[in-house]
Amino acid sequence: MFSFFKKKETKSEQPVKAAPVSDSPARDEVLTRQLDELCGSFSGATMELCAVTGPIGFTALPRPDENRDGPWLIVLPLTAWYEEDGIIVQGKAHLYATADAKLLAHLRRMAPRDGIIQVDVRKGEKDNTYWMQALPTPFMDPDLKAILLEQVKEVSTDVDGLGHFILDRSTGFFLGDVNWLGEDLPMSYPNAPEQTDVRAAQDTGRALLADAQGWNDKAMQAGESAFRAAYPDEDTIPALEISSIDLGPDGSFTFWFGSEEIVEPLCAQGNLSRGDFLPPEEFNIN
């Protein structure tokens, strides 16, 4: 794996390829290809980056052909950072590196979510991408601290006909409980950039609640169909319960199901314009 302890390099300004090094040339090829897709080349000079981390810590980006223990390409979302001219920029940036399971755990402690870090990096040719050159360290800056304090404030809203929802910043969804046939049921909708999309998702929730019994009956049938598609060799369908509902801005929705007899998540998707659930082969689970 590449060294994290090199001194700053200022001689070369030519673009270079970040070169992950593992014990396997095949793994190196996978990691390098993955990195090229996300960032491209990086500047030859090392610069110091001071930044606010986002609500999600370092995360591995596995591929189906990658092994369980890594090394993986990892990424840390950033929400604010100093540019080289000393100006603070707020937005979305990403810090990349490679790490195995042990190093990833260490980096999550050194650069936790919702924190402020200082780290030596090379800048990517794609906007707001950085390649980590040294281990990050905690950093204190009053201006970044003010941004962080604003970032971690709770965001909530009372939705007419649905109830109280709180923004989960790690997923970007508003989460709340609705009264579904006399029981509290978790419901969520995305914190979309456009308020028209947010209101449309809320409208979807209100439409489902207006005919909760009808949609509940359809959901149970759709859940059984989804189970049969996921477990074609099973003769008996277990007792399913609706565990939550996700709302989309286009009249779409996803019902999630739980059961003591199945471990993997099970869901069924539908759309108000269709007036029903989709067949399992048309589900689009991202």
* 84 compared with 31, residue with greater pLDDT: 84
Report the SS3 class of residue 77: strand
pLDDT for 36 equals 65
Q: Which tens digit of pLDDT belongs to each residue from 220-252?
A: 999 999 999 999 988 898 999 999 999 998 999
**Tens digits of per-residue pLDDT, 144-163?**
999 999 999 999 999 999 99
CA distances from 268 to 3, 43, 117, 161 (A): 47, 46, 41, 24
Who wins on pLDDT, 208 or 42?
208
Average pLDDT, the chain: 86
* DSSP H helical ranges for 133-237: 142-151, 195-210, 212-230
62 contacts: CB under 8 Å, gap ≥ 6: 72
Q: How far is it, in rounded angstroms, from Cα 269 to Cα 280?
A: 8
pLDDT score, position 25? 59
